Structure 1
Amino acid sequence: MTAPDQPVVAQPGQRLPYRPAGRGELAAQLRLGRDGRADRKRSGADVALTTGFDQQVTDPLLAAIGWRVGEQLDAVVCADEVAAGRPAPDMIERAMELTGVTVPARVLVAGDTVLDVRAGHAAGAGVVVAVLTGAQTADELAAEHPTRLLDGVRELPGLLAAAPAGDPTAR
């Protein structure tokens, strides 16, 4: 198993290690996906899911919760689609390509691990949000200097809606 602060590199055909989200986070994500779509589209934001799961795991999970690209999500990037996993910026950069974003400073990255925060910084994201619904503590996440520290992803629509014109969280 890879140490938490070491990059995970996908080799062809290799399944990458993963840490599933906690039950509370999954429930918050489901609410965001079902109820947050209209707010997300009104704000002009695209939503891309980047995950350490490979496509063989991700596709059935998304199908089970009723998420589809073009509906709840604008893009999905799995670790097996890029050369390097977190904390490398590869998944974020691929998500940017898929959504037509060319300026990293206009990207908001949200995650619940220090590797997520490091990947956001490595990609040059304008806003790097750490959420407290994962296994890591506020102190552990804060040590990586996220732009924002939120209780969970359920707060993201409010963050997007409150973003002033010209803010990196605005598209």
Structure 2
Amino acid sequence: MEELIIFLKEKDIKIALNTGYNAKIAHLLLDKMNWKQGVHYDTLITADDVSNGRPYPDMILMAMDKLKIDDTSKVLKAGDSIIDIEEGKNAQCGITVAVTTGAHTR
């Protein structure tokens, strides 16, 4: 995953991370992986940042605003849970991808 993210960043593709965890836990996880803002991702949106969590599209929309992206069809949402996929669909992302090695299987 880290190689893919660095490849995308080199192609000037913006990376936003969003999580249902609070900011404290999200930063603990990112620190454990040694992922740095500006290197591995451009912005982080957590459950602390929005009033409505998943499956509402609020975290995606906030990330788009921070990254100055106004066309949801240019957004790819990848997630490992059903609620992640619902979030991507509710945000009308151009592509929504289910990762089957996380919370759920195929």
After TM superposition, the score normalised by the length of structure 2 is 0.92
- Map of 1:69 onto structure 2: 37
Question: Once the two structures are superposed, what CA deviation does each residue of 1:88-126 show, in whole Å capped at 9, x if it has no partner?
Answer: 000111111121111001000000111111100110100
Tell me if 1:83 matches 2:51. Answer: yes
- Where in structure 2 are there 5+ consecutive unaligned residues? none
Post-superposition shift, 1:56? 1.2
- Map of 1:128 onto structure 2: 96
Tell me if 1:114 matches 2:77. Answer: no
Tell me if 1:47 matches 2:21. Answer: no
Question: 2-side partners of 1:112 and 1:37: how far apart?
Answer: 17
Question: Once the two structures are superposed, what CA deviation does each residue of 1:136-168 show, in whole Å capped at 9, x if it has no partner?
Answer: 231xxxxxxxxxxxxxxxxxxxxxxxxxxxxxx
Superposed CA RMSD: 1.3
Which structure has more relative contact order (CA 8 Å, sep 6+)? It is 1
Question: 2-side partners of 1:128 and 1:82: how far apart?
Answer: 21
Question: 2-side partners of 1:40 and 1:72: how far apart?
Answer: 9
Aligned residues: 106
After TM superposition, the score normalised by the length of structure 1 is 0.59
